[in-house]
A and B are shown apart, each in its own frame.
Chain A
Amino acid sequence: MDLSLSTETVGDRTIVRVGGEIDVYTAPKLREQLVELVNDGSFHLVVDMEGVDFLDSTGLGVLVGGLKRVRAHEGSLRLVCNQERILKIFRITGLTKVFPIHTSVEDAVAATD
């Protein structure tokens, strides 16, 4: 399955819904999307990963890159994920300490810190 992306704005938050596989082939598409959002002034991002079937370190790298970009503008990047097999990759790499990970988009949008 390829990567699917869609965005929605809720207040000052931009929700990026990701579906499919994020790997070395598809990650550049996600990177482009995040860069474009930040360049357009969206600095508070919520990446909804509930539709993601596969995530590898290339995808993690893109998310870390996105986080660096929004932080440069005092922004935030929050993740929504409940899938154990995806969460495991964040735990292995220690990135659970870097990304706020929420159980629902509503929680992520409501979170302030």
Chain B
Amino acid sequence: MATVELRFSAVPGHVRTARLVAASVARKAGVDEAVLDEVRLAVGEACSRAVGLHQNSGITAPVRVLLIEDEKQFSIEVGDEAPHQVHDGSPGASEDADVEVEEDEMGLAVISGLVDDVKVSTGADGGSIRMTWPTTTPPAAVLP
């Protein structure tokens, strides 16, 4: 198992870097070329969400991205350190909070639509999104 780990300050400008790195590692891991656009979009969504969560919670810690190459699959795990709370939608909630929740849900909707194998975990100390794609194994060399 080979892993590339990327940590970046929670600022929007670095999300593009994360997308480029993830797509590059995914290509090297054997993810189908036709799926790389989806990988790029999905990891961007997950990183944008993490950046938003860190900024909204005033967390200075970096966003963490793990790019994990296994034998027959490639996984990306984007972790945040923001405490996740359930939005109750109660009257009086600020409009900004509503917009944040809407954007968060839209991002997750895109990820769910793009990636068949996705696991979202949340907790008081942070959360993570793990997305997995199959890889195409090059045919084994035939020895004479």
Contacts and interface: CB of A to CB of B under 8 A. Distances in A.
B61 interface: no
B123 interface: no
A57 B103 CA distance: 7
Given A56-B44, A57-B48, A85-B37, A93 B12 contact: no
Interface in A52-81: 54, 56-58, 60-61
A24 B12 contact: yes
Interface string B102-144: 1100110110011000000000000000000000000000000
Interface size band for B: 20 to 34
Contacts of A23: 12, 15-16, 44, 48
A57 B13 CA distance: 16
A93 B113 contact: yes
B77 to A, nearest CB: 19
Interface of B: 12-13, 15-16, 19, 37, 40-41, 44-45, 48, 51-52, 99, 102-103, 106-107, 109-110, 113-114
Given A24-B44, A92-B109, 9 more contacts: A21-B16, A23-B15, A24-B12, A54-B19, A56-B44, A56-B107, A58-B48, A58-B103, A93-B109
